[in-house]
Amino acid sequence: MLESHHRLALIADLHGHIEILLPALELCHAEKVDALVFLGDLIDRADQADACVEALRDWRAYGVSGNHEAEMLAALAQGADLKLKPETIQFIRALEPRLIAGDVCFLHDELEEPRVDPLQKFFNRETPRENGYRVLFVGHTHHRAARSDNGPLDVSHNITLDPNREYVINPGGARGTPCSFQTSKINRTTKNTKDTKKNKKTLCSLW
């Protein structure tokens, strides 16, 4: 279960780019991440789906279904021959709409309003506690952003999560860097080795 892991790496909207996933996994290994959580759209094109799932074989990997996984399952249901390995199809079918760990919820995109600008939709969404959660991690927009029930947050430096506040956090698309979450802080780190070591004392990082 997610609650049993001390440090989670959150990756959103990879869209099947194995050349981005592999360096991200190396970074997660260096940061001593316990498990991975994918916030939807891990895959896109069928020709890279097998490679992405194979790369996760040695990881404790969890994930939620995004619109691209839904489209792929719909194509399979209509009889499309996507030439996917059985274990890849099994992985995709096992994805849930959301994952819950205590008062933290992970999902791809809670609001379905296609005509609304993604960032406007993000900052206009309800606070998590109104939905039963204190912290909500989402993907889909490809834009790194965070807000509390007190307003938007600056994700360019450390953010301490106040237990009396509610948060919505989007780590941004995986073309950037992943986010790791533990219990009390979010801090932004670069892929630069010195920066990573300097910020290693934090419990949770938005890299």
Average confidence score pLDDT of the chain: 76
Look at residue 93 and tell me whether its pLDDT is greater than 80: yes
Helices 86-93 and 67-77: angle between axes, nearest 10 degrees: 120
Ramachandran sector of residue 128 (left: φ over 0; alpha: ψ -120 to 50; beta: rest):
alpha
> Looking at per-residue confidence, does 148 or 158 come out higher?
148
Q: Which one of 93-102, 148-157, 159-168, 194-203 scores highest in mean pLDDT?
A: 93-102
Cα–Cα distance for residue pair 187/185, rounded to 1 Å: 6
pLDDT score recorded for residue 202: 28
Tokens at 174, concatenated: 């995986």
Paired residues of 72 in beta bridges: none
> In what helix (H) or strand (E) does residue 8 lie, and over which residues does it extend?
strand 8-11
What's the CATH number where 152 sits?
3.60.21.10
Supply the pTM of this predicted model.
Answer: 0.78
> Looking at per-residue confidence, does 109 or 159 come out higher?
109
Domain count within the chain: 1
Per-residue pLDDT, averaged over 171-182, amounts to: 67
Look at residue 198 and tell me whether its pLDDT is greater than 50: no
Model pLDDT for residues 109-129, shown as the tens digit of each residue: 855 544 445 555 555 655 666
Model pLDDT for residues 138-147, shown as the tens digit of each residue: 888 888 888 8
> Looking at per-residue confidence, does 143 or 91 come out higher?
91
* DSSP assigned state of 141: S
Domain range for residue 152?
2-206
